[in-house]
Structure 1
C-alpha cells in the first residue's frame, strides 16, 4: 500500500502544530497535501534518518545536498511557503526536549522512527565543511575563501555570466540584461568613489577582476586588487592582460591585513566584508582607514541582516555556514556604520539596494538551471544543488526583507573638515 506521503504529512502537522503548506511526494509514489502546491519530494528513508539524527535546518540541508530531498515545482514558491515552518525551524536540544513533552509530538517522532528505520546516522555529504574553533585567522580565512571560490572558474562562468561579477547588480529595469546591470553597478561605485585618472584604487576582495578592469579602463586609475583565491587571481590576471591593462592593474593573492603600500585615494570592498566576522570588523575598518589618504573614500558594499531585539540570541545560519560561506557572518547595517565611524570614517551615504539583489539572484539561478548538466560535471551534483538552494533561498529572503544589501560611502575626512564631497552628492556625476 502506497501510504508513506499521507503518514509523513500527518507527522509533519503534528510536529509543526499546523498543516504543511506544500505537498509531499514519497519514494513509494504516494502524495499528500494541498493540491497544486509545489511538492517536497522525499526520495528515500535516508532523508528521514538525516532529519531524525539532526533535527532542524542542518538535517534538511544534508538531505537536500545528498539528493535525498528535492522540490518539485516552482522553487521560489516552495521556499516562500516553507519559510518559518519546517525549512527554517531549527531546534536546539532544549527546544526539542520541550517539544517532546507534547504527546502528539512524541507520537509523530515514534512514527518517523518506525518509518525511517533507524540505523547509524548517514555520513554528511562531502561538500560540508565543519566550523573551526578559531575564526578569522589568516589560515581559516584562506580555507573558507578557497571552499567557496575555488570551485572552478568555468562553474562560475555558468552562474555569473560574462560579467563575472559576484555581487548585487544595479538594475534600471527588471527586464534588463545581467551584464548591463553589473556594468551599471561597477560604474556607480566608481562615481561614488570619485575616481580620477592617475589616482590609486585598492579593490579588497577583487574576485575575478571586473571592478579593477572597469576602474582602470573607464577612469584611468591605478588599481591593486587583492584576493585569497588562487583561482580568482589567475583568472583576473589573464583578463587584465587580455584588456591590455597590465600597466594599470596589479592582482595579488594577499590578505587585506597584509597590504602595506598605501596610501590610496579610494578603496572598494564589494561583497567581501561578510567574510570578516564581527570580532574582526573593527580591525578591518581600521586597516582600510589607515590605507586611505586624508580625503580618500571607501565604498563598502555589504549584505546585512535584520537586527534582533536580543542580539545575544542571534545564531549563524547552519546551511550557509556548512555548505556556502564557512565562517561568514552578517551584521545589521547600523552595526556596520557604527564600526566604520569608530575607525574614524565619516559616513556620507548609505544606499539600500535590496530589491536589486533579488533580481540578480534569480538571474544567477536561471543561468545555473539552463546549463545544469555542465555545472554538475564541473563540480559535483551536491555542489550544484547547494548553489541552487542557496541562491533561490537568498532571493526569497531579499524579496521578503529578511536580509538586505547596502552601499556605504565613507570618507577619511581630514582635520580641516573638508570632505571633498559635492553638495548634492546623490547625482554621483551621472
Structure 2
C-alpha cells in the first residue's frame, strides 16, 4: 500500500466535514496536507483504531501515550496541538442544544452515507477492531463514593506518587507544583525557580504572616511553602498531603533545614484536621481535587479551622462558565491519565461558596498568563531530560506529562481556563478585617 497519508487526510476531512489543519505523515513514510502546516506523525495503524473507538481527546491521548502519534522529529509540539485544539475543544451545539466537543460533534454526521463509507475505509486502514488495550498509565475504573476520603487518597496517589526524582526533573529545585509568579521578561530574572520563590513570597504577604503564628497549608506538596513561611516569617506551620512520597520528601527537607520545631508534615485529609484554630490557611492548587459535591464542606471546614480575623489564600484553577452548568463534564484525558476525579469550577462559583460558608472575600487576582509561562517552563525541563524522565517513571508517563502540560499551557493562553488567588477573611463580629486600605501594596517586595 502506498501513499497512506493522502488517503488518511482525505478520509479524515470527509468524516469531519472540514479541512484538516495539519499535515499527515503516515507509517509508510508518505506525507500529505497543507504545505508548511504542523506535521502529525501517525507512526502505527493502531492509532486509527484508538481514534475510531474513542473519537476525541481520549482516543488521541491513548495513541499519543503509546507513541503511535507524534510530532515530526525536531518539531515544536505547541503548533500541532494548537491546530488540533480546534477539532477537540471547540464547542458546538447538538440538535438537543447540549454542548459537544468539536470532534464528537462529527459523530452526528454518521447519518451521511459518505461519512459512513469514509469511517469504514479508515477502519480498514487501521486493522481489525477492537482497539488495543489502553496504555498501562491510564487509571483503571475507580470504585467507592466519589470524593470520599479513601477514593481521594487513591486519586492523589495516582497523580503524585510517580516518584520525587521525576517531579524534581520537571519542576526544578523549587519543587513547587502550582502556578509561579513571573517578573516581566525584560527584568532578566525570569526563571521558573525565581518565579516560584516570588509566588511563595506573594502568598505569605497576602496572608500577612508574622512570627509565632500558626499556618495550615492544605495540600502542601513537597513542603516548599511551609518551609518558606517558617524560615522567612517565623511561623509554626502544619502541611498536610495525601501523598506518602510527598510527605517523606518534605520531612527530609524540614530536617535538613533544621526546622523540625517549626514545621510538621502530616499525611492527612483536610476533613481530618481538628487542631485549630490557625491564624492563616493556604490552599495552593489543591481545591481542584475537592469536587463540586464536597466544596461547601471544604469551605465550611477551613472556616472552622481559622481564628476570627484569620485569612485564607485559595489558589485554584477555574474554567469558563457554561450557559447550562449541568452540562459540565470532567475532561476525559485529564480524568484517565492525570487528575482522577478532578473538577474545575468557574471562579464565581468558588467565590459564592466561600462567602456562603461565612468568609468575606477581599481580593481576587487572576494569574492566567503566569500559569502558561510556568507550564512552558516545565515542558522545557521535561523535554530536555526526557530520556531520564522515561527511566524514572515510564515512557508512557513521560508522554502523558508532555501532552498534559503543553495542552494546558495552550488552554491558559487561549482563556479556556484560568487560575485565581482568592484572599478571604473570617471577619470577626466587629467587622475589623485587619487588611490594609490599599491591599495591592502587598506586591511590594
Aligned to 2:44: 44
CA distance in 1, matches of 2:227, 2:65: 36
Aligned to 1:27: 27
- Give 1:88 deviation, angstroms: 6.7
- Give 1:296 deviation, angstroms: 0.2
Contact kept? 1:131, 1:321, Cα under 8 Å: no
CA distance in 1, matches of 2:299, 2:326: 23
Work out which of the residue numbers 292, 310, 321 in structure 1 matches 2:335. Answer: 321
Work out which of the residue numbers 339, 351, 354 in structure 2 matches 1:340. Answer: 354
Residue 191 of structure 2 is aligned to residue 181 of structure 1:
no
Aligned to 2:97: none
**Deviates most, 10-19 or 223-232:** 10-19
Residue 107 of structure 2 is aligned to residue 127 of structure 1:
no
Aligned to 2:2: 2
SS in structure 1 of the partner of residue 156 of structure 2 = helix
Contact kept? 2:55, 2:103, Cα under 8 Å: no
Residue 189 of structure 2 is aligned to residue 202 of structure 1:
no
TM-score (structure 1 length as normaliser): 0.97
- Give 1:107 deviation, angstroms: 1.9
Q: Deviations over 1:4-31 (max 9, x none)?
A: 1111101111111111111110000000
**Deviates most, 203-212 or 106-115:** 106-115
CA distance in 1, matches of 2:378, 2:321: 27
SS in structure 2 of the partner of residue 428 of structure 1 = helix
Give structure 2 stretches of 5+ with no counterpart. Answer: 92-99
Contact kept? 1:131, 1:327, Cα under 8 Å: no
- Give 1:429 deviation, angstroms: 6.9
SS in structure 1 of the partner of residue 147 of structure 2 = coil
Shift of the 95–79 alpha-carbon distance from structure 1 to 2, 3 Å rule, reads closer
SS in structure 2 of the partner of residue 70 of structure 1 = strand
Contact kept? 2:89, 2:101, Cα under 8 Å: no
Aligned to 2:365: 351
- Give 1:103 deviation, angstroms: 2.4
Aligned to 1:152: 163
Work out which of the residue numbers 74, 78, 81 in structure 2 matches 1:79. Answer: 81
CA distance in 1, matches of 2:20, 2:107: 22
Work out which of the residue numbers 86, 93, 102 in structure 1 matches 2:112. Answer: 102
- Give 1:302 deviation, angstroms: 0.3
Q: Deviations over 1:379-427 (max 9, x none)?
A: 1110000000000000001011110000000000011111111111111
Aligned to 1:57: 57
SS in structure 1 of the partner of residue 138 of structure 2 = coil
Question: Which aligned pairs between 1:220-299 and structure 2 lie closer than 5 A?
Answer: 220-299=234-313
Coordinate RMSD, CA, aligned:
1.6
Contact kept? 2:90, 2:101, Cα under 8 Å: no
Q: Deviations over 1:343-396 (max 9, x none)?
A: 100000000010000000000000000111100000111000000000000000
- Give 1:70 deviation, angstroms: 1.0
CA distance in 1, matches of 2:88, 2:314: 35
Question: Which aligned pairs between 1:386-401 and structure 2 lie closer than 5 A?
Answer: 386-401=400-415
Shift of the 88–230 alpha-carbon distance from structure 1 to 2, 3 Å rule, reads farther
Contact kept? 2:290, 2:343, Cα under 8 Å: yes
- Give 1:132 deviation, angstroms: 2.8
Stretches of 4+ moved more than 4 A in 1? 86-97
Contact kept? 2:181, 2:196, Cα under 8 Å: yes
Contact kept? 1:157, 1:164, Cα under 8 Å: yes
Aligned to 2:95: none
Contact kept? 1:82, 1:88, Cα under 8 Å: no
Contact kept? 1:60, 1:87, Cα under 8 Å: no
CA distance in 1, matches of 2:17, 2:151: 41
Aligned to 2:397: 383
Contact kept? 1:304, 1:403, Cα under 8 Å: yes
Aligned to 1:14: 14
Contact kept? 1:55, 1:91, Cα under 8 Å: no
- Give 1:120 deviation, angstroms: 2.7
CA distance in 2, matches of 1:303, 1:345: 19
- Give 1:286 deviation, angstroms: 0.4
Aligned to 2:96: none
Contact kept? 1:208, 1:236, Cα under 8 Å: yes
Shift of the 278–131 alpha-carbon distance from structure 1 to 2, 3 Å rule, reads farther
- Give 1:92 deviation, angstroms: 11
- Give 1:173 deviation, angstroms: 2.0
CA distance in 2, matches of 1:261, 1:67: 48
Contact kept? 1:23, 1:34, Cα under 8 Å: yes
TM-score (structure 2 length as normaliser): 0.94
